[in-house]
């Protein structure tokens, strides 16, 4: 049964208990108005009042017990509702990547990478991104920005900036945003320009999965794979990827970005089906080298 229906029924019962309590019909009597009344009547009146007080005392423990029982039931129901809600936030995958992030964040390199990873917010859409220029050039996914022409960027230090979309490439799912009026000293990540990757190469992914910010995970490169939704092959990675990781940088062991996370897919490994990450190889952005990156 729905918790709120139960609470409504119990609340109604609580109020009905209060309404059933007997009201004392005699609140006060002025004996001066009846000076001829015999003394016995006055004694009977006070005896009646004493009887009412005794009845009140006899009923009070019962009503108190009922109220306490209802309060306990309400607490149990609310606690049960809370317990049911907690796993939605702190589920098992989240606990795993939070533990791994805590371990990886002890490394100085990971701490430096996180400085350049940003939160990207556009309306009710949120994703990850990273900065590649001291004056603020943000790379993220096009599906995070969608058809909007601006977004809100937040760095690790809490500073927030407005940024304008200068590239929107739905073919490879990449958007590039230019921060407005940014100081010329923002933390950056470098793009890989040489040997990009080989199968089995170790990687780190840093992003904002499941409403957590700048979570670092580790994994390996699986290689390029064709996809139904893209004309170009995409990079498959073995790493924990969740909602909110869109736009996360894939970083090699030199600290350079080799790809941008955009989705997950299912693949076969032996007799099992496993979920792996899909990322856009950074060399697909070479066409923007002169028109955007070198400006």
Does 256 have pLDDT greater than 90?
yes
Structurally, the chain folds into a number of domains equal to 2
- Boundary of a domain, candidates 66, 89, 112: 89
Q: Can you say how many angstroms the Cα of residue 64 is from the centroid of all Cα atoms in its chain?
A: 41
Domain that holds residue 48: 3-18+36-89
pLDDT in tens, 262-285: 999 988 877 888 899 999 999 999
Q: What's the mean pLDDT when you consider all of the chain?
A: 81
Angle at 260 between CA 257 and CA 265, to 5 degrees: 135
Lowest mean pLDDT among 19-28, 117-126, 239-248, 257-266: 19-28
In this structure, is residue 271 part of a structural domain? yes
In this structure, is residue 174 part of a structural domain? no
In this structure, is residue 127 part of a structural domain? no
In this structure, is residue 259 part of a structural domain? yes
pLDDT in tens, 32-89: 344 444 444 344 444 444 555 555 555 556 567 777 777 887 777 776 665 555 555 5
In this structure, is residue 252 part of a structural domain? yes
State the pLDDT at residue 271: 82
**Which residue, among 185, 173, 165, has the nearest Cα to 248 in the 3D structure?**
173
State the pLDDT at residue 247: 97
In this structure, is residue 222 part of a structural domain? yes
- Residues 6 or more apart from 53 whose CB is under 8 A from it? none
Q: Which residues of 222-238 are buried (b: 16+ CB within 10 A; e: fewer)?
A: beeeeeeebeeebbbbb
Q: What is the CA radius of gyration of the chain?
A: 34
**Which residue, among 228, 206, 223, 207, has the nearest Cα to 276 in the 3D structure?**
223
In this structure, is residue 155 part of a structural domain? no
In this structure, is residue 182 part of a structural domain? no
- Boundary of a domain, candidates 89, 105, 129: 89
pLDDT in tens, 198-230: 999 999 999 999 989 999 999 999 999 998 888
What's 228's domain CATH number?
2.40.10.10
């Amino acid at each position: 049964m729905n918790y709120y229906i139960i609470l409504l029924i119990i609340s109604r019962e609580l109020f009905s208990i209060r309404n059933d309590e007997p009201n004392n019909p005699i609140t006060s009597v002025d004996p001066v108005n009846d000076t001829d009344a015999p003394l016995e009547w006055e004694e009977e009146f006070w005896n009646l009042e004493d009887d009412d007080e005794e009845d009140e005392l006899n009923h009070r423990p019962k009503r108190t017990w009922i109220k306490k029982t209802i309060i306990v039931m309400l607490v149990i129901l609310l606690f049960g509702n809370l317990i049911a809600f907690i796993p939605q936030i702190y589920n098992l995958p989240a606990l795993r990547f939070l533990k791994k992030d805590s371990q990886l964040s002890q490394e100085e390199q990971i701490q430096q990478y996180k400085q350049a990873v940003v939160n990207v917010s556009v309306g009710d859409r949120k994703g990850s991104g990273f900065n590649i220029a001291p004056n603020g050039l943000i790379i993220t996914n096009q599906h995070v920005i969608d058809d909007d022409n601006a977004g809100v960027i937040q760095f690790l230090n809490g500073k927030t900036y407005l940024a304008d979309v200068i590239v929107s490439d739905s073919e490879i799912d990449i958007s590039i945003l230019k921060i407005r009026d940014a100081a010329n000293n923002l933390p950056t990540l470098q793009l890989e320009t040489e040997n990009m990757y080989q199968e089995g190469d170790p990687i780190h992914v840093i992003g904002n999965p499941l409403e957590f910010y700048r979570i670092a995970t580790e994994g390996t490169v699986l290689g390029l794979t064709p996809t139904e939704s893209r004309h170009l092959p995409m990079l498959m990675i073995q790493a924990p990827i969740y909602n909110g990781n869109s736009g996360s940088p894939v970083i090699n062991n030199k600290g350079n970005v080799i790809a941008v996370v955009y989705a997950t897919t299912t693949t076969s490994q032996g007799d099992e089906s496993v979920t792996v990450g899909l990322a856009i190889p950074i060399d697909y952005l070479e066409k923007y080298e002169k028109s955007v990156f070198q400006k």
